[in-house]
Amino acid sequence: MNYKNLHLIFWFTFFSTFCFGSELVIEVTTDKYPNETSWKVFDTNKNLIHQNGTLLKNITYRDTLEVPADACYFWRIYDVYGNGMSNGTPPGDYKVYLDGALVASCENPNFGDSISVYGLGTGCVSSDVSLESLDFSSQQAFNPFDVTFSVLNFGSGNIESLLIGYDLGGWEQEPVLLEGLSIEFGEQVQLSFPEKLQFTTSGEVIFSLRVEKVNGTVDLNLNNNSLTKTILVADGYWQKPMHEEFTANWCGPCALANPKLKATLDQFPGQYSLIKYQYLNDSYFHVDGGRMATFYGVAGVPSMYINGNYFYPGDYTPEEFLTHKGQVTPVSLILNPMAIGDSVFVNVNIAATENFTSKAYLRLAVVENITTGNVGTNGEEEFENVFMKFLSNWGGDEIGQLTSGQSVTLTFKTKMSDTFVEEMNDLSVVGYLFYKNAYEVLQSEMVAVPYTPAAPVISFSIANGSVDIDTVLNLTIESDKPLIHSNGTEITDIQPVISFKENNGEGIDVAFTGSISNTKKTITITPVSNLKPNTEYFIQLSGVKSDEGIEVSDATLSFTTKNTVGITNIAQNNLQIFPNPANNLLTLNSLCSTEATILDAAGKTVMAKALEVGFNSWEISNLKAGVYFIKVTVENQSTFYKIIKY
């Protein structure tokens, strides 16, 4: 039974002992359900010291045990139904006393299927690690594998490092130091070697693992810190079963079958490959998924094919999985993927240990581990291993008829912008090798894709280095990703992130207004006054990063305005406009009779007016709030004045 190494209240006490031992008192008050609660007392080597039977409902039991005074124990209480003693009001309770001192009591009655109290007795030591299990398979092949194991901290101190020794076939190997740990008293954790282990010869190997040091010192209890496992190494590579399911968001039976399939596969992490093709009329249907359905002759969903053979996914059990696992194949398939920005790159290595009997082909696909954007009508709230696209041809790329000892390395890359991908950091690649003639799947592999965000792509509405730019400027800066401040806060004011200067980055500041769009991808910049003619300007965007955390660098623009000397001065000396900004009424003081027009930001004329010498009033209340330009023509020469309507 799996159990949680939880512990509620612990006191380490020095206590007086009886002549023949210590007195351990267990007091348990059960909840309203009978025959579901029991408890046991063990020593640190897992030897059973005491146990009781299952208890009846709503009764307080008090058991007094005599135990050796100089030993170390732990007490564990069990619940058959996995909800502790939480049924009823009040719920159940327990208390543990050692030589009259309360050492533990129940703080949370809903403790699951079990809870333990450690450190009972004066024989408990500060450094004591129990090696609980060797968690890797006893069947291995030439595939690299993780050496995983579980340890329990029986000592009173926190564990920060472990020195692990191990033997292979009686030959002692270099010890492995695991640092940076934080294993609390009573906590059980699974650990693994930093590097995978790989066998190169077949046969039976005795693997022994032991805890040699805890926090740099020798384990004070050597009776529980070593385990041995016999490993059978096959002559070749274990075949990873290839699963291909056809499902859909509108399919009621799929909603029943998929959880059963998941429950089975979840018991075998890292031991299977899986592609789920969303079928016709699913919002994530892909034409290549349709081609695969035709290839397999799919007539309805859900349908699943294991190594090319049909099996109904709703009937898939762990026992059935094991019939497909453990087959030895003469070929290895190694996938090394990475994603940068919206691109996926995969290096593929294929190596044969025997001669192939036919030409082999490779299908290589990208799947998204979890999607929610294609939720439909069948009640499923998310979908797993959803097919996005093939990196190979849908029918497979020819590898050839390899010979023993021959290897092939291939490289694939693809853009994901033409897929339904939701999160680039949630992808896996799935590949499998097969014979076409007398269809047979040789090997498969599924690997998560490490993701590195790409730097934001910044573009300006004016090309860098442009000349003859109008002195009336309305500039936009576009990013392909949402932008935030470098410190991670939202951008609401663009002034701190934009530098706008004359001549160069050290020149005179140019006053401007601007805004950033709700998407945080578009920045608009408008100078407060017309720019000077025949002048170079410099704009830089800095102090920002993408919402994925990648800093923007080298986002600069330089341009030179038109040579319009004389035209601006003629017009500017003949007209004054106030107030600006304005709401309802503009006043224009003109030194001559002329024609004036109001243009919107797109250059479209929205109003026109003949100006007389002197003060002229212009009603603008009908204009929408925003930036406009007044065009004035004097002696066939025009200039523009920016106004703001609020």
Domain extent listing, the chain: 22-120, 129-235, 242-451, 458-561, 567-645
Q: DSSP assignment, residue 223?
A: G
Q: Quickly name the fold that domain 22-120 has.
A: Lipoxygenase-1 (2.60.60)
Q: What is the pLDDT of residue 369?
A: 98
Q: What is the pLDDT of residue 16?
A: 37
Q: What is the pLDDT of residue 189?
A: 95
Q: What is the pLDDT of residue 219?
A: 81
SS (H, E, C) 149-166: EEEEECCCCCECCEEEEE
- Listing DSSP states for 318-374 in one string gives HHHHHHHTT-EESEEEEEEEEEETTEEEEEEEEEESS--SS-EEEEEEEEEEEE-TT
Give the pairing of strands 536-541 and 466-469.
Answer: unpaired
Phi/psi at 631 (nearest 5 deg)?
-100, 125
Q: What is the pLDDT of residue 627?
A: 87
Q: What is the pTM of this model?
A: 0.58
Q: What is the pLDDT of residue 118?
A: 85
Domain 129-235 part of CATH 2.60.40.10: yes
Which pairs count as long-range contacts for 504-508, CB under 8 Å and 24+ apart, including other chains?
504/536, 504/538, 504/558, 505/538, 505/540, 507/538
d(CA 148, CA 178): 12
Q: Which of 415, 411, 448 is nearest to 429 (CA)?
A: 448
Do domains 129-235 and 458-561 share one topology? The answer is yes
Sheet of strand 614-619, all strands in order from the earlier edge strand to the far edge: 575-578, 585-590, 614-619
* Cβ proximity of 244 and 295 under 8 Å: no
Q: What is the pLDDT of residue 17?
A: 37
Q: Quickly name the fold that domain 242-451 has.
A: Immunoglobulin-like (2.60.40)
* Cβ proximity of 412 and 392 under 8 Å: yes
Domain 567-645, architecture per CATH: Sandwich (2.60)
- State which residues of the chain have pLDDT below 70: 1-20, 564-574
d(CA 403, CA 603): 71
* Cβ proximity of 52 and 61 under 8 Å: yes
Assigned CATH for 458-561: 2.60.40.1220
Per the structure block, which two tokens stand in for 471?
């002195």
Q: What is the three-class DSSP state of 567? A: helix
